[in-house]
Amino acid sequence: MADRSRTPLLVAALASMLVLGLGLGAAAFALLDDGTTIVRQVTVENSEPVAASDLPATAIYDRAEKGVVEIAASGGSGVGSQSGAQGSGFVFDEDGHIVTNQHVVAGASSISISFWNGVEREATLVGTDPSTDLAVVRVNAPKSLLFPLPLADSSAVRVGDPVLAFGSPFGLEGTVTSGIVSALHREMTAPNNYTITDTIQTDAAINHGNSGGPLLDRRGRVIGVNAQIESESGGSDGVGFAIPSDTVRSIVRQLVATGEVEHAYLGIRMAASSDGVSVTEVLPGTPAAKAGLRAATGTEVVDGQEQPTGGDVVLAFDGEKVTSAVALQSAVDARRPGDTVHIVVLRNGSRRTIEVTLGVRP
């Protein structure tokens, strides 16, 4: 016969284990008529221990400050004093790779890194990507100076999430400001005038010198790299924009591996349409031109809005419905040069599928 007196204790112990996150992950249990307790292990996807929950800003600062650096680039064309540019960055790995903005180190003849304890090291440029405004530099430093910051999954970020912006605004190293994610899927113009899609908008105060510094979530993980400010005064009374960590992860890995980044390229200009995305121009010699995509030949006013007519309207890209120019650009960005894709267009009232081999963005 089962000992019924032990059942409540066992149930209580299991409940406390679940509350404390002690290794079970999750458990299902039931009491039989004879008092026997059956316990089954249940795997919960994406479950995390309590230790991974949101941390107070002070704890995040204590964890992250050693991974954030100040960057001085002389002879460059970035934002800063006459003698050069000043910005921020963060440690990517224990090999001494540091992430920052391309516009901070653009054209620099020398780059200096200042760590959390005031120690300075000269850095060498590994590579830059003007299309995403990202750059990687490397320092020869002992591991006692290198505290890499983990990258989060930026696709999981939500509007309203609390964030902290780290950096050296106006050369004031070790500065942190707080705010929230104000919006997602914003667009920024890159230094080479291409569009950076899916950027994160925040109201955390960002000023000159914050460029290249990390935007952290409340678990101390990097969700973006602070890059631009939109403000009438040019200061933090506006809003800031950060390059999402998913983009950072992809670009930085390529820069670390080869020093270069190649972006997939279609070669069209486009505009919003009620059905999908209208092709307004097909650039000569591009993959789009070689595949036979057609540009609009005129315009008409629909519900007070001028819309292109006479050309292709992109409805789908490799099986995914296209709802906006940003969506189409993001779909192209997710591919590699040389990939063959199938684009569904509406032409003269009929659907057709066009095969395109993507090129390399010039």
| CA 16/CA 10 separation, integer angstroms | 10
Q: What is the CATH number of the domain that holds 338?
A: 2.30.42.10
Of the ranges 224-233, 309-318, 336-345, 347-356, which one carries the lowest mean pLDDT score?
224-233
- Listed residue (256, 300, 303, 262) closest to 278, CA to CA: 300
Query: Catalytic site residue 133?
Result: yes
Burial 263-282 (b: 16+ CB within 10 A, else e): bbbbbbebbebeebbbbbeb
Q: How far is CA 109 from CA 11, 105, 122, 300, in A?
A: 67, 9, 11, 52
- Asked whether residue 296 falls in the same domain as residue 355, the answer is yes
Pairing of strands 214-216, 305-309: unpaired
- Asked whether residue 140 falls in the same domain as residue 184, the answer is no
- Asked whether residue 107 falls in the same domain as residue 134, the answer is yes
Note the pTM of the prediction, 2 decimals. Answer: 0.79
Which pLDDT value is given to residue 231? 75
Take residue 9 and report the two structure tokens written for it. Answer: 């204790």
Final residue of a structural domain among 101, 118, 145? 145
Instruction: For residue 253, tell me if it sits in a domain.
Output: no
- Asked whether residue 39 falls in the same domain as residue 73, the answer is no
What's the whole-number mean pLDDT along residues 306-323? 94
Catalytic residue among 97, 103, 208, 263: 103
Instruction: For residue 182, tell me if it sits in a domain.
Output: yes
Instruction: For residue 61, tell me if it sits in a domain.
Output: no
Instruction: For residue 58, tell me if it sits in a domain.
Output: no
- Asked whether residue 96 falls in the same domain as residue 174, the answer is no
Which pLDDT value is given to residue 45? 36
Final residue of a structural domain among 87, 117, 145? 145
- Asked whether residue 272 falls in the same domain as residue 352, the answer is yes
pLDDT band at 37 (very low <50, low <70, confident <90, very high): very low
Structural domain count of the chain = 4
Which pLDDT value is given to residue 237? 65
Residues 6+ apart with CB under 8 A from 310: 296, 297, 298
Of the ranges 23-27, 77-81, 160-164, which one carries the lowest mean pLDDT score?
23-27
Which pLDDT value is given to residue 6? 41
Instruction: For residue 349, tell me if it sits in a domain.
Output: yes
Final residue of a structural domain among 98, 127, 145? 145
pLDDT band at 272 (very low <50, low <70, confident <90, very high): confident
Phi, psi of 152 (to 5 degrees): -90, 175
Residues 6+ apart with CB under 8 A from 313: 273, 275, 276, 277, 278, 279, 345, 346, 347
- Asked whether residue 162 falls in the same domain as residue 227, the answer is yes
Which pLDDT value is given to residue 234? 63
Of the ranges 11-25, 276-290, 329-343, which one carries the lowest mean pLDDT score?
11-25
- Asked whether residue 268 falls in the same domain as residue 340, the answer is yes
Q: What is the CATH number of the domain that holds 181?
A: 2.40.10.10
Residues 6+ apart with CB under 8 A from 171: 70, 86, 209
Amino acid letter, residue 238: G
Instruction: For residue 115, tell me if it sits in a domain.
Output: yes
Which pLDDT value is given to residue 271? 92
Of the ranges 107-121, 136-150, 224-238, 329-343, which one carries the lowest mean pLDDT score?
224-238
Q: How far is CA 150 from CA 140, 217, 223, 246, in A?
A: 20, 11, 9, 12
Query: pLDDT at residue 138 above 60?
Result: yes
- Asked whether residue 158 falls in the same domain as residue 233, the answer is yes
pLDDT band at 302 (very low <50, low <70, confident <90, very high): confident
- Listed residue (185, 159, 139) closest to 329, CA to CA: 185
Instruction: For residue 305, tell me if it sits in a domain.
Output: yes
- Asked whether residue 40 falls in the same domain as residue 76, the answer is no
- Asked whether residue 288 falls in the same domain as residue 308, the answer is yes
Which pLDDT value is given to residue 235? 63
Which pLDDT value is given to residue 274? 85
What's the whole-number mean pLDDT along residues 150-170? 96
What's the whole-number mean pLDDT along residues 216-222? 97
Instruction: For residue 177, tell me if it sits in a domain.
Output: yes
- Asked whether residue 233 falls in the same domain as residue 269, the answer is no
Could you tell me how many residues make up the chain?
362
Which pLDDT value is given to residue 276? 93
Which residue range(s) make up the domain with 37? 4-52
Query: Catalytic site residue 16?
Result: no
Q: Name the average pLDDT for the chain.
A: 85
Query: Catalytic site residue 103?
Result: yes
Query: pLDDT at residue 309 above 80?
Result: yes
Catalytic residue among 88, 154, 211, 236: 211
Catalytic residue among 88, 131, 133, 245: 133
Q: What is the pLDDT of residues 245-264, one digit of tens each?
A: 999 999 999 999 999 999 99
Q: Give 228: exposed, middle or buried? Use CB within 10 Å, 0-12, 13-18, 19+.
A: buried
